[in-house]
Amino acid sequence: MSVSVRIPTILRTYTGGDSEVKAEGTNLAEVIDDLDARFPGVKGRILDEDGKLRRFVNVYVGNDDVRFQDDLLTPTPDGTEISVIPAVAGGC
């Protein structure tokens, strides 16, 4: 399954400055593994030592936050757009 991944500015040192890259995988975990094969080190920035999404990283498959889906096992159908975004919030 080929997907496109939007890369946040702080990870573009790994992608040669590219803000969007292609990757393969049937779910998010596989996509992140494939990203790491193409851009070594990027997985360690997205996942913590226990292999879970870092607390301050939000990943969207399509328009949906994967924490409300199946987390790293969220399916990534062919053509899916994935966004990796540092957590920010408004309000008080």
Partner 1 sequence: MSAVVTEADCPVDPTPSNGPREGAFGNAVALACRECGHQVALGPFYACPECFGPLEVAYELPAITREEIEAGPANIWRYKALLPVPTDIESSPNTEPGFTRLLKADNLGRELGIEKLWVKDDSTNPTNSFKDRVVACALSAARELDAKVFACPSTGNLANAVAAAGARAGIKTVVFIPSNLEQPKQVNSAIFTENLVAVDGNYDDVNKLASEIAGEEEGWAFVNVNVRPYYAEGSKTLGYEIAEQLGWRLPDQIVIPVASGSQLTKVDKAFQELIKLGLVEDKPYRVFGAQAEGCGPVATAYKAGTDAIRPVKPDTIAKSLAIGNPADGIYVLDITRRTDGAVEEVTDDEIRAGIVQLARTEGIFTETAGGTTVAVTKKLVETGVLDPTLETVVINTGHGLKTLDAVSGQVSAAATIAPTYAAFKATGL
Sheet holding 57-61, edge to edge: 20-24, 2-6, 81-86, 57-61, 64-65
Q: How far is the CB of 65 from partner 1 (least distance, A)?
A: 7
Asked if residues 59 and 82 have their Cβ atoms less than 8 Å apart, the reply is yes
Which parts of 6-45 interact with partner 1 (CB under 8 A)?
A: 6, 8-10, 12-13, 17, 19, 45
Closest contact distance (angstroms) between CB of 42 and partner 1 is 12
What phi and psi values does residue 79 have, to the nearest 5 degrees?
90, 0
CB of 21 to partner 1, least distance (A): 14
Contact 24, 31 (CB under 8 A): yes
Q: Which span sits near partner 1 by CB under 8 A: 26-34, 35-43, 48-56, 70-78?
A: 48-56
Per rule CB under 8 A, is residue 50 in the interface with partner 1?
A: no
Amino acid at residue number 49: E
Q: CB–CB of 21/39 below 8 Å?
A: yes
Residues that bind partner 1 (CB under 8 A): 6, 8-10, 12-13, 17, 19, 45, 54-58, 60, 63, 65, 67-68, 83, 85-92
